[in-house]
Amino acid sequence: MKVVADTNVVVSGLLWGGPPNRILRWVRDGLLEIIVCEETTAEVRRVIQYKRFSKRLSDLDTSSNEVFSYFMNLVTFASTPGSIPEVIKADLFDNIFLALASENSAQLIISGDKHLLDLGTYKDIEIVTPSEASRVIETLVTYRG
């Protein structure tokens, strides 16, 4: 199953437990594929380096570079979307997740961002929280057996 996960989901999954981390473990185990592009990975790299995460990185005995390298080994790289819609006006960067999902036939967009979640769907692609995504994916994993 192909998914697009926004930056807050990725960073949360890399640094903490819970549904975002479970999603990354499923990617690691080959049950999911997270689609990224140059712009979305650059944002993850930038956010992971925020000072507010330095204590968490220290607690995990790791660096932002090590965490980012781990992330890059998990994901599937795609080209930057050719056409980025301006559906979300409040935060134009969020639109890249819509375009990335649409151009790469993702089944879900996983987000904790209100701007994305308020849409509900984009071009028949569900936009869900990490908890909702976990329920959907667990059902599929159980069904596959």
pLDDT 10s digits, 50-103? 999 999 999 999 999 999 999 999 999 999 999 999 999 999 999 999 999 999
Residue 36: φ, ψ to 5°: -135, 170
Superfamily of the domain at 2-144: 5'-nuclease (3.40.50.1010)
pLDDT 10s digits, 18-41? 999 999 999 999 999 999 999 999
CA–CA separation, 2 and 107 (whole Å): 6
Q: How many CB atoms lie within 10 A of CB 2?
A: 16
Q: State the chain's mean pLDDT as an integer.
A: 95
Amino acid identity of residue 145, one-letter, is G
Q: Write down the pTM of the prediction.
A: 0.94
31's CB contacts (< 8 A; 6+ apart) are 1, 137, 141
Q: What is the dihedral of CA 71, 87, 80, 22, to 10 degrees?
A: 20
